[in-house]
Copies of this chain bind each other. A is one copy, B any other.
Amino acid sequence: MPGYDSSQFPAVAVTVDLVVLTVRDDALQALVIRRAEEPYRGRWALPGGFVLPDEGLDAAAARELHEETGLSGSDVHVEQLASYGAPGRDPRMRVVTVAYLALAPDLPTPSAGSDAADAQWLPVADLQAARRSLAFDHADLLRDGVERARAKLEYTPLAAAFCPPEFTIAELRHVYEVVWGDPIDARNFHRKVSTTAGFVTETGETSARDGGRPARLYRRGPVQLLNPPLMRPR
């Protein structure tokens, strides 16, 4: 990079795209927007848009998330995922996109109150089964985002990002079961979560009932890394 001519550089547009995941109706779901214009008219696309001239990448991701979903950064975990810049990925021009992964709780207002009224949640399994349902290379972004989310549940307490601020251990377990697609022993999971220092903190309240003994309510704990991690069934 030393001594390059700052008036002469390849014309590239930079965007951010968001893989926004949630757990709804016993399924891992992603936020998608139906494209109204060519190319890929009628296909689903991930929310995203240009990075503004004086805006950092994280800020652009947070802004797009807010514009397209009404979600603010404090509700949702957002982290950078990866960048995608294959020359032909957008037929109109050279676009390099920085993808972000966002994990959101299943909010009462799913995706309303925003510009994109046509944004909606769809099960990841459906999007991945229907070949070519996603525009551009967004199937790649989705695959990588889901893979990252699955991996991160193992060694971080991020499953709580899919839960409301207060949650029961059973709700947390349900997140793991949906994201990993495997049943988990409730008893061992309970012990693991409640004995790992800093994973969750007890509120003292108990939950609304759904059948049996009331469950204690917890909030996210202070730790960022689970050590030792939770083991995913192989």
Assess whether B87 is in contact with A56, with CB atoms less than 8 Å apart.
yes
Assess whether A3 is in contact with B234, with CB atoms less than 8 Å apart.
no
Tell me what chain A mostly uses at the interface: helix, strand, loop, or mixed: loop
| Given A86-B56, A87-B55, residue A50 in contact with residue B9 (CB < 8 A) | yes
The answer, among B3, B36, B55, B85, for a CB contact under 8 Å with A37, is B3
In the docked arrangement, what's the CA distance between A54 and B10, Å? Answer: 9
Chain multiplicity (copies): 2
Assess whether B83 is in contact with A2, with CB atoms less than 8 Å apart.
no
Residue of B nearest to A35 (CB): B2
Assess whether A11 is in contact with B53, with CB atoms less than 8 Å apart.
yes
| Given A56-B87, A83-B83, A85-B14, residue A96 in contact with residue B93 (CB < 8 A) | no
| Given A57-B85, A85-B56, A98-B83, residue A13 in contact with residue B2 (CB < 8 A) | no
Q: Is A6 an interface residue (CB 8 A)?
A: yes
Residue of B nearest to A60 (CB): B85
In the docked arrangement, what's the CA distance between A98 and B12, Å? Answer: 13
A6: chain B residues within 8 A (beta carbon): 13, 92-93
| Given A36-B2, A234-B227, residue A53 in contact with residue B94 (CB < 8 A) | yes
* B-contact 0/1 string along A210-234, CB 8 Å cutoff: 0000000000000000010000001
Residue of B nearest to A34 (CB): B2
Assess whether B85 is in contact with A33, with CB atoms less than 8 Å apart.
no
Name A32-75 residues within 8 Å CB distance of B. Answer: 33, 35-37, 45, 48-57
User: Can you name 25 A-B residue pairings with CB atoms under 8 Å?
Assistant: A1-B45, A1-B49, A1-B50, A2-B33, A2-B36, A2-B45, A4-B49, A9-B13, A10-B14, A10-B50, A11-B53, A12-B12, A12-B14, A14-B85, A14-B96, A51-B96, A53-B94, A55-B87, A56-B85, A56-B87, A57-B83, A80-B82, A80-B83, A82-B82, A227-B234
